[in-house]
Structure formats: C-alpha cells, structure tokens
Amino acid sequence: MKIRFCENNKGTVKVLKKLKETYPDLNIKRKDCLKNCGPCKKTPIALVEGKVVSAADGEELYRKIVAAMSKE
C-alpha cells in the first residue's frame, strides 16, 4: 500500500512515524507537495493509494488511514 504525506502539511509527522512503527512494510513517503493545497492548508491529509484522506487532527487521520488499509 502506498501512502504519501506532504512535507508542508501540519499534524502529519506523528502520524507518519506511528504508521512506520506499526506497519514497517508499508510504502510511506513524505513528498515536497501532493498538489492538494486547499485541503492541505486546513487539515492533516494523506494520499492513500492516490485518494485524499483528511481529518480534523492527526489521531483521526491515523484511524482513517488504518481503516482505508483494512478495505484494501
């Protein structure tokens, strides 16, 4: 599974670290830009298999990413 985080998105550093610790086999990377600047300015986001996943905070983002992984 491919997960991407924007380098400039606030609130995702802890999510990225937690995912890497819990799921070391995931393909997780931080990119300079995900080209989703509107949502990226407002809330923590990630691209999960090319789809935007956003949340109110990092904890919720982590839960949503894990939920999206279980659907795959």
Look at residue 6 in the predicted model and tell me its pLDDT. Answer: 95
Number of domains making up the chain: 1
Look at residue 39 in the predicted model and tell me its pLDDT. Answer: 85
Distance CA 48, CA 1 (A): 8
In terms of C-beta distances under 8 Å and separation of at least 24 residues, what long-range contacts does 65-69 make, across chains too?
Answer: 65/3, 65/15, 65/19, 69/1, 69/23, 69/26
Look at residue 38 in the predicted model and tell me its pLDDT. Answer: 87
Report pLDDT digits (tens) over 37-72. 888 889 999 999 999 999 999 999 999 999 998 886
CATH number at residue 48: 3.40.30
Place of tokens 């400039």: 8
- What is the extent of the structural domain holding 27? 2-71
Distance CA 55, CA 68 (A): 13
Per-residue pLDDT averaged across 11-22, rounded? 94
